[in-house]
Amino acid sequence: MIGSSALFLLQLSTRGGEAAERGIIELIISSDLVTKAVLIVLMVLSLVSWAIMFAKWRAFAVAEKHGHAFAAEFERARGMDDAMLMAQRARPSAFTAVFARAMQFLNDTKPALGATSDRTARLSGSQVEALRLVLDSETGKEREELGRFIPWLATVGSVSPLIGLFGTVLGVIQAFEGIATKGSGNIGAVAPGIATALIATAAALAVAIPAAFAYNVYAARLNRFDSALEGFGSELIALMVREGRI
């Protein structure tokens, strides 16, 4: 008996949910063209934001895995030659790109301080400052590459509620038109317009909330990755100092 009652309630709730879904679909179909256009724009923005989220999740996972692996191995390097062999064996990453840019600078720059009986030729203070600027430039380039399209998430998160508000206003206008058409303010006259307005509001929030949340998460990860790259550049210069190149 109890099992039959539970089965009946489950069937009733399922039918109620299906009826609600059909009601929402019918409201969307019966709405005006401008409201449909608003919902289509929100759907496109949602697809774009989710595509960016998944693409950036993959990009960050690969960049952090390969980059941190090389950075951890670089800490054990005994000299620039040893670090160069590690970079050749490591998978390409932002860290190996910064290292390669530093090696290119060293190969293209003639040390300003000549060799003496005590030590080899060294870079001058101005050359070290130039090296730091080169490393900062390469770090910024890698940051821009990894952070590409992330600002779009902030745009979607801020614009979607405004687009949804536009749809909400249209729904309220439709409700007042229903009152004017039927000559009364009963629930049957205002319900379709109010329901359409609430659907537009809910759709806008469903688009904006994940996009804004993902933007904050990825912006924080990008800042941490940028700090790690800057720290790697400092460690690279420190290794040159220990080796006597600076």
| Radius of gyration for the chain, computed over Cα atoms and rounded to the nearest angstrom | 30
Domain that holds residue 177: 31-243
188 found inside a domain: yes
25 found inside a domain: no
Per-residue pLDDT at 14? 47
Q: Are 131 and 105 in contact (CB under 8 A)?
A: yes
Comparing CA positions, the residue from 206, 94, 85 lying closest to residue 157 is 206
Task: Calculate the alpha carbon distances from 137 to 78, 80, 101, 141 in Å.
Answer: 26, 21, 10, 6
What is the Cα–Cα distance from 162 to 133, expressed in whole angstroms?
Answer: 42
Per-residue pLDDT at 243? 79
1 found inside a domain: no
What is the Cα–Cα distance from 37 to 31, expressed in whole angstroms?
Answer: 10
Compute the half-sphere exposure of residue 79: CA atoms within 13 Å on the CB side of its CA: 4
8 found inside a domain: no
pLDDT tens, per residue, the chain with 246 residues:
444 434 433 443 444 444 445 556 776 666 668 778 888 999 999 999 999 999 999 999 999 999 999 999 998 888 888 899 999 999 999 999 999 999 998 888 887 666 665 666 677 778 888 889 999 999 999 999 999 999 999 999 999 999 999 888 887 777 777 666 765 556 665 666 677 778 888 899 999 999 999 999 999 999 999 999 999 999 998 888 887 777
The pTM of the full predicted model, rounded to 2 decimals, is 0.81
**Tens digits of per-residue pLDDT, 191-233?**
666 777 788 888 999 999 999 999 999 999 999 999 999 999 9
Q: Which two tokens stand for residue 193?
A: 């317009």
DSSP E strands: which ranges in the chain?
none
Per-residue pLDDT at 20? 45
C-alpha of 46 from chain center: 14
Task: Calculate the alpha carbon distances from 55 to 47, 59, 156 in Å.
Answer: 12, 6, 16
6 found inside a domain: no
What is the Cα–Cα distance from 215 to 229, expressed in whole angstroms?
Answer: 21
What is the Cα–Cα distance from 6 to 69, expressed in whole angstroms?
Answer: 55
Per-residue pLDDT at 1? 43
The domain tally of the chain equals 1
Per-residue pLDDT at 176? 73
155 found inside a domain: yes
Per-residue pLDDT at 118? 62
Orientation of helix 33-74 relative to helix 187-243, angle to 10°: 20
Comparing CA positions, the residue from 201, 239, 230, 192 lying closest to residue 23 is 192
Q: Are 39 and 203 in contact (CB under 8 A)?
A: yes
Q: Are 167 and 222 in contact (CB under 8 A)?
A: no
Q: Which two tokens stand for residue 168?
A: 């909400």
Per-residue pLDDT at 13? 43
Mean pLDDT of the chain: 82
7 found inside a domain: no
C-alpha of 199 from chain center: 27
185 found inside a domain: yes
